A and B are shown apart, each in its own frame.
Chain A
Amino acid sequence: MRLILEVWRQEGPDAEGGFETHEILDATPEMSLLELLDRLNHQLVENDQEPVAFESDCREGICGTCGLDVNGVPHGPEDNVPACGQHVRSFQDGQTVRFTPFRARSFPVIRDLIVDRTGLDRIIQAGGTIAVDAGTAPDADTLLVTHDDAERALDFAACIGCGACVSACPNGAAYLFTGAKLAHLALIPHGKEERAKRARSMIAQMQHEFGPCSQIGECVLACPAEIPIVALAVVNRERLRAGFMWGKAN
């Protein structure tokens, strides 16, 4: 297959940046989009050009390291699939594939297709944690969790933290990410003890760096972990609940 690749090149955060066009003549349908970039980079290196910088790690959809926009869609054309699981078979022979870095003001470009997504982790640092020191936990079997709660907690805990939700959002919001964490921690026994405190601090940090949510639902289409859209409402529910708690930890 022949594909035209338009790739965003940008030296650094403050550089101007622009598109570069390359042609791949031997793409195959079973290639992933990251492998397509590997192919391109191989070609560039053989021609003494600098390869396109992009991030990936596990390449099986769990680490959340890969993240780029393909033809204006986070990760690529298929819904709910990370870039490493998107394939060339979604494109036709001769088609143009345009790679741009994740789009969000909160994700400054580091180089080419690599962006800085640490803003999401600052939300976690602000309070997405459970204050239990090593060795102090009680027997996990004495705290019963219903089967359904455990399963639901897992639905939200599945977030891979790739940042596609932010990139998909016209508002640059991180509600899906934040909501997923809040929902997960609100469903498990230890997480409930500092539920209100957590909601206040995480949501405050979220507002420092990310936009407001308009419930458009673009994030849900992009999310590789298929976090349910109710996570958006969870952010508001938890914040309202925290508001009623008047400064109490829970």
Chain B
Amino acid sequence: MSSGIQERSDIDQIPVAKRPATSPPPRPQTWVLKLIMAVTGSIFVLFLLFHLAGNLKVYLPDDPQGHFNEYAHWLRSFLSPLLPGSTFLWIFRGCLGAALLLHVYSGVTLWIRAHRLRGRHARKVNPTKHHLTGRTMLWSGLIILAFIIFHLLDLTLGRVVASKDFTGGSTYKLENGEVTVDAYANLVHSFQRPSVAIFYVVVMVVIAFHLSHGIWSITNDFGATAHRTRSVLLILADLIALVIVVGNASIPLAVLGGVITL
């Protein structure tokens, strides 16, 4: 039954529509986090392309071992003697590390916000590409994070997951007589373990997924609204993802298949 007439004392006010918040929005603001994601993401895309270029030296026809190790050495001693020793490498690593921390922090924060604001009812999954790649960004990101740790242990530090033949101590003599780490040998030793090689290949596919949606997101997060720019970047996103996965995943497969040997 109805509520009945209110007595004067408890006539309450007619509800007034809620007005916009006067407090500042939650910090860091979502758009700032998205911008951080985009800037750091762009750094990683460039890094990956640069990294791939180096990796592909294993396919050089004569003396790939020499070329690859020479490149590894150049990386360590870049801008020397302007900067002493491997200073540049450490700056480079520092920047990448900071970018990684920011990227992961922003990504997780955004994910938590998004998850909190999603409603309760089940949703039909649309089989569109951006649905598959976009909705799995956190998971592909975490896999990539785990992979980065694995990769550093495997081929940079030579700990725990590295092959028993890791030659951190052993050296390779360059043509100009300088002596450097034999990165090429480490790579071949590691990929000769089939499970590791497969793991690398799988992760490359995950990275491709992450990149394909990530680069598309970067386009939007930087506010690119021009039709042509967006069309080009939409294609470029898939193209870069494809190049990364084909280029990188081919190396462990080539080692397994005996194309690349010591």
Report whether chain A binds chain B.
yes
- B23 contacts which chain A residues (CB < 8 A)? 208
A233 interface residue per 8 A CB criterion:
yes
Judge whether B31 and A203 touch: CB under 8 Å. yes
CB <8 Å contact, A105 and B122: no
Across the interface, do A104 and B118 meet the contact criterion of CB distance under 8 Å?
A: yes
* Stretch touching chain B among A84-92, A130-138, A169-177: A169-177
Chain B interface residue count: which class? 35 or more
Instruction: Render B114-145 as a binary contact track against A, CB cut-off 8 A, 1 for contact.
Output: 11111111111010101100110100000000
Most buried by B among A104, A201, A218, A221: A218
Q: Is the CB of B31 within 8 A of A236?
A: yes
Contact with A along B221-234 (1 / 0, CB 8 A): 11111010010000
Interface flag for B67 (CB, 8 Å): no
Query: B17: which of A118, A167, A171, A211 is its contact (CB, 8 Å)?
Result: A118
| Chain A residues with a Cβ closer than 8 Å to the other chain, count | 52
Closest chain-B Cβ to A116's Cβ sits at a distance in Å of 9
Decide yes or no whether B84 CB sits under 8 A from chain A.
no
Q: For residue A102, which residues in chain B have a CB less than 8 angstroms away from its CB?
A: 119
Residue ID in chain B nearest A74 by CB atoms: B123
Q: For residue B130, give the distance in angstroms from its CB to the closest CB of chain A.
A: 5
Whether A214 pairs with B134 at a CB distance below 8 angstroms is yes
Would B225 and A237 count as touching, CB distance under 8 A?
A: yes
| A69 on interface, CB distance cutoff 8 Å | yes
Residues of B1-39 at the interface with A, using a CB-CB cut-off of 8 Å, are 17-21, 23-26, 29-31, 33-35
**Interface 1/0s, chain A 221-234, versus B by CB < 8 A?**
10000000010111
Is A216 located at the chain interface by the 8 A CB criterion? Answer: yes
Once the chains bind, are B121 and A211 in contact (CB under 8 Å)? no
**Looking at the complex, which one of B114, B122, B222, B225 makes contact with A211 (CB distance below 8 Å)?**
B114
Give Cα distance in the complex from A238 to B220, angstroms. 11
Contact present for B224 and A172 (CB under 8 Å): no
Contact partner of B223 (CB less than 8 A), chosen from A107, A118, A241, is A241
Query: Once the chains bind, are B119 and A208 in contact (CB under 8 Å)?
Result: no
Asked if A207 meets B29 with Cβ closer than 8 Å, knowing A170-B123, A213-B34, A240-B35, the reply is yes
For chain A, residues 115 to 138, give those with C-beta under 8 angstroms from any C-beta of chain B: 118, 121-123, 125-126
Pick the contact of A8 from B121, B137, B230 — CB < 8 Å?
B121
20 interchain pairs, CB-CB under 8 A: A103-B119, A103-B121, A105-B119, A121-B17, A122-B20, A125-B20, A170-B114, A204-B24, A204-B25, A208-B26, A211-B118, A213-B220, A217-B130, A217-B134, A218-B131, A230-B225, A233-B223, A233-B224, A238-B223, A240-B222
State the 8 A-B residue pairs at the shortest beta-carbon distance, nearest first: A237-B223, A172-B117, A171-B114, A103-B119, A72-B124, A216-B134, A211-B117, A207-B25
Interface residues of A (CB under 8 A from B): 8, 69, 71-73, 100-107, 118, 121-123, 125-126, 167, 169-173, 201, 203-205, 207-208, 210-218, 221, 230, 232-241
